[in-house]
Chains A and B, each alone.
Chain A
Amino acid sequence: MREVWQTFAWDEIQSRYRRSALGLAWIVISYLMFVGGIAIFFGGFSSMSEGSYFHYIAIGYPAFALLVGNLSEGCWVFRGAVSWIHSSSMPYSVYVFKSIARSVFPFFIQLIAALIVMLATGWRPSVIALLAIPGLMLIIGISVPLQLALGFVGARFRDLQHLVGSVQRLLIFVTPVIWAYADTAGLRRAFAVANPLTHFLELFRAPLLGSVPPTESVVIAAVLTVLMWAAALIVSSRMRKQLPFWI
């Protein structure tokens, strides 16, 4: 089965950039444009030095995009595969793995671009950076049940994708991606702590910027992942039978 979702994911990545002259280079170009733009316009608002603000956004943004992408992709994970679900008896998890593989690929391209640009601008990794690996694994570990659950619920309740779309637009402002977690206090801090994205982001970003992620983030992210798996298994056992009729 692994071969199936890998091939499908790779095919979809290719077809997204097929017939464009720059092809896969667009992943890097649009990433650098966004990160560069944000660093220029918002860097001044942060207490961080210009260089470290750039590193903060360069690492944080791809991880944020990977996390948040699950929401919209999740709603479409089965509806977008309707032609296959109606013609093949492959397990539904194949479509979830395919969807995640398709987002992880640009993530790694952006991460490599980020590390190259950061090395050129004075960033040096420490041993702590290795902690980003379990952080990333936890991000992927919650992506699977999240997309699975959203896929089923989104196929049944068509309002979900609109709700998710509306919320998603706000998330970049609510989550500490372009502003620093450390700069905040009071209500904004409370919002950041209550936002699950903050913690998953911290697990990946903090080690790469040289600090051990806060214990509370580790605990919250781990608990949320377990809860999400439980929710996804319940949703899928109740809804899987009806799925072909809903999409």
Chain B
Amino acid sequence: MPRIVVENVELVHPLFSGSNEISTPSTESRFVVNKAGRTVGVRALNGVSFELSEGTRVGVIGRNGSGKTTLLRVLAGILPPDRGTVTLEGHCTNLININLGTKGDASGHRNITLQGLASGHSREAIEEKRDEIIEFSELGEFLDFPVNTYSAGMRMRLSFAIATAFKPEILLLDEWLSAGDVEFRRRASERMASFVERAGVLVLASHSQSMLESNCDRALWLDHGEIVQDGPVNEVFSAYQAKFGGA
């Protein structure tokens, strides 16, 4: 059964600023300062704990730089946490940045193969899903052309189609999804709904209230790398809006 357990995760994002630069020692507690007084990193996640069981659809909200993407990367196993543990049960697919993990000079079809292999599927499984991906992406003959020639919306449809075709048990999506047009968002929402019916776990980072409310039942509010509130999506969103104004 798909499940995510995150216990007391801490992650320091190292900062590089050419070795000879002198940075002023920071008084802000988010910055991690070494013995010589130089700022060496920023605490991107601090004491983050939560548990997501099967069928959970959780939205992650927070201002820019609050640690949403870092949290998704930790969940995806791309960044190992400095402290704490992340336990993932189930096959996990992430769509954190649509431009990552695509080969621009290869055709759409080729990208289906490469991305499928990279997320651990066999060639047979990829061929089995190809028609479904072609159908959802609505790219048709464009799939024979390099991905570089696609518009942002076309890339989005292709990446989303590939990521969801293999019926992942855990799906991690970053806020780029909100950039799609109405039609894409509607179809994406439908697909996410059917995904959650299969008792998968969905983690969706977004600034869009409608996106979150139509796809999630629970929300995590992150600020400065810490969880401010964890609860039903409506409650968390109202508290967030009360603090930072309209969405």
Contact = CB atoms under 8 A, between A and B. Distances in A.
B80 interface: yes
Interface string A2-37: 011001100100010010000000000000000000
Size class of A's contact patch?
20 to 34
A242 B14 contact: yes
A18 B78 contact: no
Given A4-B117, A11-B106, A15-B105, A87 B13 contact: no
- Label chain B's interface by main secondary structure: loop
Contacts of A8: 114, 117
A87 B113 contact: no
B36 interface: no
B100 A7 contact: no
Given A4-B117, A89-B76, A83 B14 contact: no
A87 B110 CA distance: 18
Contacts of A42: none
Interface string B40-84: 000000000000000000000000000000000100111110000
Nearest to A241: B80
A11 B110 contact: yes
Nearest to A12: B103
Interface residues of B, number: 27
Contact of B101 (A15, A18, A83, A246): A83
Nearest to B81: A241
Interface of A: 3-4, 7-8, 11, 15, 18, 83-90, 241-242, 244-246
Given A3-B122, A89-B77, A89-B78, 5 more contacts: A83-B99, A84-B101, A85-B78, A86-B78, A246-B16
23 contacts: A3-B117, A7-B113, A7-B114, A8-B114, A8-B117, A11-B110, A15-B103, A15-B105, A15-B106, A83-B99, A84-B101, A84-B118, A86-B100, A87-B78, A87-B94, A87-B97, A88-B78, A88-B118, A89-B76, A242-B14, A244-B73, A245-B13, A246-B16
